[in-house]
Each structure stands twice: as C-alpha cells, then as structure tokens.
Amino acid sequence: MNEVKTPKVVCITNIPSPYRVYLFNKIVERGKIDLTAIYCAKIQDERKWNVNNLNHKHIFLNTQALAFVHKYFYINTEIWEKLNSINPDIVVTAGIVPTMLIAWFWAFIKGKKRGLATDSWALTDKNLSKTNKIIKKFIYRNSNIFYPVSEKGKMNFMSYGVPESNIYKVGYAIDNKYYSSFKDTEKKYDIMFSGQFIDRKNPVFFCEVASELKRMRGKIKVLIIGSGEMEREIIEFFKKNSIDYEFPGFISPERIPEYYAASRLLLFTTREDAWGVIANEALAVGVPVITTPFAGAAEELVIDNFNGYIMDFDVMLWAKQINDLLDNDEEYKRLSNNALSHIDNFSGDIASENFENAIFKSINDIEK
C-alpha cells in the first residue's frame, strides 16, 4: 500500500484575523496537512484585532500597503522567495491584491495547484472595475480549488464558470464551545451594536432605532462595541438623546463573549458585508440577531423568524419588531434556543474538514 503523502499547503491572507487564525489552528490540530500561513501584515489601522494564539507555522511579510477607502492593497515581491523556500504543493490565496497575484503566478509557473479562498459574493462584486473582472475571470478559470464562506459565495464562483465539484464551502467560524459557556450571563443591555463605526456598517441607523425604542418603551439600555471614524458622532447622539449606553472601549478577546451574552439582541445594521462574524459571536451565546439582506450571513446563518430577523432599512419596522420581542419571553426563548442549535452548523471542525477534503481531492487529481 502506498503511503499517503502529507500535502504541503501555503495559505496567504492579509492579516491574522481571529476567524482565519482559528481555522488555521484547527487544520494544524487535525494533523493531516502541513500548513504554513503567510500574512501580508500584522495589523491594519481600522482593525483592532489583537490575535496572539498563532498555533501554526506562519510568516509575516515586510509588505508595503496602499489604503483606499478601508481596503488595503499589499505589494511585496518577497513572497516569491518565501514560496521558493517552502516549495508547497498547493498555494491558497485569499484575494487578488498584488502580493497574492504574485503568489498565484508562482504556483501557475511552477505547476502547483492553486486555491482561492474568498468571502466575496454578488453584492460585494457589484462595483468591480473591468480590469478587476478580467483578472478574476483569468484567475478563476486557471485555479483548482475554490473556498467560498457562504452559499452566496458559491453561487458567485459558479457565475464565473467554476464547476460546482471544485467548490468547497469553508465558512467563518469561532470557538462555539467557549462562547456558549457564557450563554447564562445575566442580561444588562437591551440591544447592542458591534463593528466598525463607518458608513458601510450603518451605525446611524442603529442610533435611530435605539431612539425610537426609547420613545416606545420610555427607556432602553444600549451596548456599543467597536471603533472608527464615526465614533464621536455616535457617542454624541446617545448623549444628546439621553439614551442609556455603555461604550467599554477595547475589550480583550477572551472577554468579548460575556459582552455579547449580556445583551438581549444584536442589531447588525450593515449596508454591505461579505459575511459578518459578529452574527456568529452573538448566536453562539444564544443572542438572536436582527440584520439586513445585505449581510452575507443573512438567510444562511441568520434565518428570518428562526434565530433572528432579516429586514430592510425601516426604523419603525425594526423598532416595532424589537419592542414586541423584548416583551415576549416565550418568543425570545425560541429564537435564542434556535440560535444555539443552529450555530453548530458553522463550526471550526466542519470548516477545517471541508478545507482538507478539497486539498486531498486536488492531490488525488495530481496522482491520476
């Protein structure tokens, strides 16, 4: 019997985001793949992540970055040298920034298998330039493995002509077990906002809903977590409208679950999100999520009238739905229980297994 080869895989991504690090650590724990993560940078200005538990082989590039409207374009030819040194069987890139394009072409020229891991879908791709679309079409047609994070992402790959058999969904995941240990935390807040204080996340709409809820209920307790360019505007709104709020500032990663669990509801008011890991975090502690159709997680992780609600931007609609839910303990318990059960479908074990399955399929294709 031939000995099964341990595939050598390099994954290249922007920065060590918590969900990527969690996935890479899970893959290493399973011990079936020789994985090295290459990060273009340690941190981005608008991302306050402080990720220290990199329990996998990793390299940080000395990358030059250009920032355009909260998007970063990394440029570093050092990636070529690093790949020559590692000589992986498969290169998986997480975007089409210059550094990752260089890595993709290294694999293409060397005859290595090429994988793409992206959270993009039809909404996030709607404003792509003609040049970007041409590059994507070429890359997609000449790659072997495709890792979307959602069904929307899968459909997006297929719209470019990618065969469904080459697509393996690897969803964003968090440590559900750790989060769920906080599910019985005493509730202190009625609603919460978590994320960047930028227009795309629409914190102004959150404020308007909070204000209407205060009018309906007489009082409301609000938790806001995050940072960004609109921070002062948001804080001033709550002060001006005499809304009881808490803004704890920086929270260490191990304490984040207790803040989610202390809230009754998460309002995910995004105008556009590739996924929305904050929904994972809320559901994992049994907190229902109210979001918009413009979140990648909508209809897949957050299911309308099952573990939350999906609604268009209408302040009165949101406020009435929330007000009714806060007064209905039986309905709240139903949504909360569904949140805890459904999140099991979005685990690190499932994501890492799907990642591995694609790798071994690709290796088997090579051997054939």
In this structure, which amino acid lies at residue 19?
A: Y
Do 150 and 160 share a domain, yes or no? yes
Per-residue pLDDT at 95: 86
- Is residue 159 in some structural domain? yes
| 1 within a domain of the structure (yes/no) | no
For range 292-317, the mean pLDDT: 98
128 domain residue, yes or no: yes
Distance CA 166, CA 143 (A): 9
Same domain, 180 and 201: yes
Query: Of 139, 38, 52, 142, which is closest to residue 84 (Cα–Cα)?
Result: 38
Whether residue 248 sits in one domain with residue 206: yes
- Quick one: how far is CA 183 from the chain centroid? 21
Shared-domain flag, residues 116 and 206: no
> Are residues 14 and 46 located together in one domain of the fold?
yes
Q: Which residues sit opposite 196 in a β-bridge?
A: 227
Looking at the chain, the whole-number percentage of residues with pLDDT higher than 90 is 82
Whole-structure pTM value: 0.93
Which residues sit opposite 265 in a β-bridge?
191
- CATH number for the domain including 219? 3.40.50.2000
283 alpha carbon, distance to own chain's centre: 14
Q: What is the pLDDT of residue 168?
A: 97
304 CB-contact burial (10 Å; exposed 0-12 / middle 13-18 / buried 19+): middle
Q: Are 102 and 144 in the same domain?
A: yes
Structural domains of the chain, count: 2
Residue range(s) defining the domain that contains residue 96: 8-173+347-367
Which of 274, 250, 300 is CA-nearest to residue 48? 250
| 117 bridge partner residues | 147
* Sole residue written with tokens 């020789």: 34
Average pLDDT over residues 266-283: 97
Which runs of E-coded beta strand occur in 292-335?
A: 308-310
Domain-located, residue 308 = yes
CB count within 10 Å of CB 17 equals 18
Would you state the pLDDT for residue 65? 54
In a domain, 2, yes or no: no
pLDDT tens readout for residues 53-101: 899 999 999 866 554 444 667 788 899 999 999 999 999 999 888 999 9
Please answer whether residues 220 and 189 qualify as being in contact, where contact means their C-beta atoms are separated by less than 8 angstroms: no
Q: Quote the pLDDT of residue 77.
A: 86
Residues 161 and 28 in one domain: yes
Whether 211 and 122 map to the same domain: the answer is no
Residues 180 and 130 in one domain: no
Phi-psi region of 280 (alpha: psi -120 to 50; beta: other; left: phi over 0): alpha
Same domain assignment for residues 353 and 309: no
* 88 occurs within a structural domain: yes
Measure the CA–CA gap between 307 and 301, rounded to whole angstroms: 9
Tens of pLDDT, residues 333-360 = 999 999 999 999 999 999 999 999 999 9
Write down the pLDDT at residue 362: 86
327 shares its domain with 358: no
Residues 258 and 150 grouped into a single domain: no
- Asked whether residue 3 is domain-assigned, the answer is no
**Does residue 193 sit within a domain?**
yes
Structure tokens, 331: 């309905």
Neighbours of 20 (CB within 10 A): 19
Contacts of 319 (CB under 8 A, 6+ apart): 209, 212, 213, 216
Please state the rounded mean pLDDT for residues 108-136: 93
Q: Which two tokens stand for residue 181?
A: 């240990």
